[in-house]
Structure formats: C-alpha cells, structure tokens
C-alpha cells in the first residue's frame, strides 16, 4: 500500500460548486506539436468539474482506494505544524499543483525516506529541489503541455486588458459612472505594436501564434532558436538577448523558467532600456522580475502597465506592493487552472500514477527527473547548475 499525499488549493469560499456555468468542456485530443493529451485507462470525474481544490481531489480517490492505496488531501502546507509537514515523513507519493505548490526542499526530502515520486498536476516542477530528488532516487513528473494553452490565452487577455485600459473602464461601470474620457485616456490599439516573448517554448510559441492575427510585429528570444520554417510562418524576428528584444518592443511577455540567468532579470537597469510606456506581462515566475523595480517603473511611467499571475512569495501577503501599485492587472496564480485545464492535468496525473503503480514507463515528455538524473522535458529545460534554486520560491515554470 502506498500513501499518496496530495496538496491542493482550498474550496471556493461559498462551498464546492453544486452546479457549473457550463455543462461540458470541449474534448481536446492533441496539441500543436503532435503530442497527444493525457490518456489514462479511465477517469472517475466529469470534465469541467472543479478538480484542483481539496474536495475535487483530482478525481483520484476511487482509483487509489480501489487498489488499496491511501489518499490524503490537504491545503494546509505552510509551517512546521502544517498537515503537509506532519504527513510527509511516511509518504510514498506527493502530488501538488504549481498554483499551490508543496515545496519539496532538500530538507523535506531528507525527512521522507519513503518518498519516491513527486507529481506536478500541471506544468512546472521548480517547487521540487531537483538535485535532492536525484540524490534521493526519486522520480519527478509533470503533465507537460496540459495547461500551456490555458496560460497562453491568459497572456493574450492580459495584454489586451492593459493596452485597452479594460480594468479601470470596467471599474467605472461598477462605480456607477460613465466617464468615457477617463476610460480612453490610457487606451490604445494593439494593432501595429511590436510584441515580444522572452522564451518561446510551448507557452511562448502559443502566445505568438495567437497574436499573429492582431497584425502586430512579433519578436522572441530563447536559448533554443525556433526553426526557420516557424519563424517565416509567424513572421518572427529573433533576438539573441533579452536586452535586444526589449529595446524594440511595445509589449513584452515573459514565458521563461526561473534559473540563475533569469532571476531578477527585469530589474531597474533592464526596464530602463525598454521603450517608455511599454507593457510587461509575466505568467512565468514572480522572481524573474525585481518586485520593487516593477513598482518604481509603474510610478514613474517607464512602464505603462504590468500584469501577471505569478508572485513572490506565493500566496502573496496582503501588503504585497503589487496589490496596490498603479496600472496593474494582477490575478492570483490562476492562468493554468481553468476548468478545461483541470480536466487535462487531472487525467495526466492519473496516467502517471497508473504507469507508476503498474511499473510501466511514464511518458518521456512527462519526466523531469528519473533514473538518477534529469530526464525527458527536464533534460531539455534544465542544466545541472539550475536544479536546486527554486524549491521554496512558489513560482510556476514550464519546460520549454
């Protein structure tokens, strides 16, 4: 019997939903690069249900208990007295989401001698100390691509919300006003602007594809350059460095992993090299941006707007300055946890567990660490010097 410890976010304040806004979600069979969506032997949930909260249990309880395993689900993960901390020492499997990660630091891994599998329900395993996982003989896996499109849609939404000044305009309606001049004084068309992504992995590339229809100039920088065919198809301009990219872009979206080269990349110095009045969107890692530099740039007007759904730390404390800085469009870490995405990453989590318990190979594209080293998507995205910095930092990553 295995003990599976699952850390999920809390249920809605009003209670677990008895009904939903829609009766179903579209069935997606595959992704743009040809990878198929998760394919477990079966599922015990209805796609479109709230699976990522405690009561949703990722739809795993029946599957696990029928096979004699024990499932413990909690949202209590902070501090030495948390349920997560108490239950970890004899856990065999830990599951969490990047939106509410269970931080598997080297110290915590050392306290869990039975721990052999860490699963991210979604994309991004930077909450796991990968060096410690390798030394411990663990497997680390995630449901690659399951919510990449969800995040890319969120990015496009935030770009439009900032450029068109949507949130303040909506607030005038809520406040009973009709102040058209106030609404449009900071509203522009996206058409004709230069838009660039820092990293063009699955999320960054999906953002570029979705923005092509807006008749904008498209730019990117990435450690892995895209093919000439893709560059021509999308009309992309490649930049060897982030600095080169930001100098020419009106809008910059960050879709990169957090590692030593990107931590606090967007500081006062780099932001000063951006166009005055540029917009910055970050759904990748909170710590890729210097927190106070962002606030200063918005206050001086160097940035016209900042939006994203990743913070440092996460959850953000009530006095976090990004909650109150001017001209922002911040959300909690929700971009990759739509009900549509949950159907995929819950199914992918079950697929990984089915393979694990049956001692079958886990999909190569789902692997981050296996067999004593980086594997699969992890080998593509990380290097040996990048595997131990982020296990307690609470930010989302996606293998590129």
Catalytic residue positions, numbered: 147, 285, 314, 333
Please state whether the peptide bond connecting residue 202 to the residue before it is cis, i.e. omega within 30 degrees of 0: no
Contacting residues for 173 by C-beta, under 8 A, at least 6 apart? none
Contacting residues for 151 by C-beta, under 8 A, at least 6 apart? 203, 255, 283, 335, 336, 398
Report residue 385: phi and psi, to 5°.
Answer: -85, 0
Cα–Cα dist 207/218, whole Å = 10
Contacting residues for 150 by C-beta, under 8 A, at least 6 apart? 335, 336, 337, 338, 340, 341
Please state whether the peptide bond connecting residue 382 to the residue before it is cis, i.e. omega within 30 degrees of 0: no
DSSP three-state, residue 165: coil
Count of residues in the chain: 400
Count how many Cα atoms sit within 13 Å of the Cα of residue 314 in the half-sphere of its side chain.
28
């Amino acid at each position: 019997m295995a003990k599976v410890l699952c850390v999920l976010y809390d249920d809605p304040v009003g209670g677990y939903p008895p009904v939903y806004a829609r009766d179903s979600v579209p069935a997606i069979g595959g992704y743009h690069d040809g990878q198929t969506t998760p394919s477990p032997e079966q599922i015990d949930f209805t796609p479109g249900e709230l699976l990522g909260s405690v009561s949703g249990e990722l739809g795993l309880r029946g599957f696990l208990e029928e096979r004699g395993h024990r499932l413990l689900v909690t949202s209590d993960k902070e501090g030495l007295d948390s349920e997560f901390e108490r239950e970890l020492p004899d856990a065999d499997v830990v599951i969490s989401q990047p939106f509410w990660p269970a931080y598997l630091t080297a110290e915590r891994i050392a306290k869990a001698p039975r721990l052999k599998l860490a699963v991210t329900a979604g994309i991004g395993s930077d909450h796991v100390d990968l060096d410690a996982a390798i030394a411990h003989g663990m497997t680390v896996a995630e449901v690659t691509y399951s919510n990449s499109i969800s995040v890319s849609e969120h990015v496009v939404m935030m770009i439009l919300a900032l450029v068109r000044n949507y949130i303040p305009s909506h607030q005038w309606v809520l406040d009973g006003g009709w102040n058209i001049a106030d609404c449009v004084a900071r509203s522009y068309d996206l058409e004709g602007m230069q838009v660039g992504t820092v990293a063009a992995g699955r999320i960054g590339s999906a953002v570029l594809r979705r923005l092509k229809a807006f008749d904008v100039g498209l730019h990117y920088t990435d450690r892995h350059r895209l093919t000439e065919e893709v560059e021509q198809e999308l009309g992309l301009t490649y930049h060897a460095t982030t600095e080169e990219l930001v100098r020419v872009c009106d809008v910059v979206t960050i879709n990169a992993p957090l590692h030593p080269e990107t931590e606090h990349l967007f500081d006062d110095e780099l932001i000063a090299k951006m166009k005055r009045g540029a917009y910055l969107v970050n759904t990748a890692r909170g710590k890729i941006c210097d927190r106070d530099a962002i606030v200063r740039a918005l206050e001086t007007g160097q940035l016209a707007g900042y939006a994203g759904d990743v913070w440092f730390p996460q959850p953000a404390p009530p006095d976090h300055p990004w909650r109150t800085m001017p001209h922002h469009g911040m959300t909690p870490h929700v971009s990759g946890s739509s009900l549509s995405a949950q159907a995929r990453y819950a199914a992918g989590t079950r697929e990984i567990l089915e393979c694990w318990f049956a001692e079958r190979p886990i999909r190569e594209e789902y692997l981050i660490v296996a067999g004593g080293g980086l594997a699969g998507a992890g080998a593509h995205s990380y290097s040996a010097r990048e595997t131990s910095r982020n296990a307690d930092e609470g930010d989302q990553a996606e293998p590129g």
